[in-house]
Amino acid sequence: MAQLIDMGPPTPTPHVLPSLLSISHNNPFSVGTAREICKICFDVNRVGFHVPDEVWQAAIPEYYGRNIVCLTCFTRLADERAIPWDHEIEFFPVSLVSHFGMTT
């Protein structure tokens, strides 16, 4: 089996969100959505989820601790480490419309 090389956390690459979501047009990093941001890929976490602590601890490198990790990054890391994550996962999807309490 191939050995995984842990290279530590990545260097942040900021995502510039549309001006609708920005507090200040002068500062693209000032985001007013209060939505969770993945600490691995720095994208908006659109689908909340929960797995048992032992699954999380086996899948997520210790230096990310209890930070927000998106579903895509979590499943990638768990699959790379051959951790079965699909048996007890719970999903909590929230659309941007629901997040802001808007009506259509």
**Number of folded domains that form the chain:** 1
Residues 6 or more apart whose Cβ sits within 8 Å of residue 104: 97
Residue 4 belongs to some domain of the structure: no
What is this structure's pTM?
Answer: 0.64
Residue 30 belongs to some domain of the structure: no
Q: Are 30 and 15 in contact (CB under 8 A)?
A: no
Residue 31 has what pLDDT?
47
Residue 28 belongs to some domain of the structure: no
Residue 71 has what pLDDT?
95
Residue 19 has what pLDDT?
39
Q: pLDDT of the chain along its 104 residues, tens only?
A: 455 555 565 555 444 444 344 433 444 444 455 778 999 999 988 889 999 999 999 999 998 888 999 999 999 999 999 999 999 999 988 777 777 777 76
Residue 1 belongs to some domain of the structure: no
Residue 96 belongs to some domain of the structure: yes
Q: Which domain holds residue 61?
A: 36-100
Residue 72 belongs to some domain of the structure: yes
Residue 29 belongs to some domain of the structure: no
Residue 61 belongs to some domain of the structure: yes
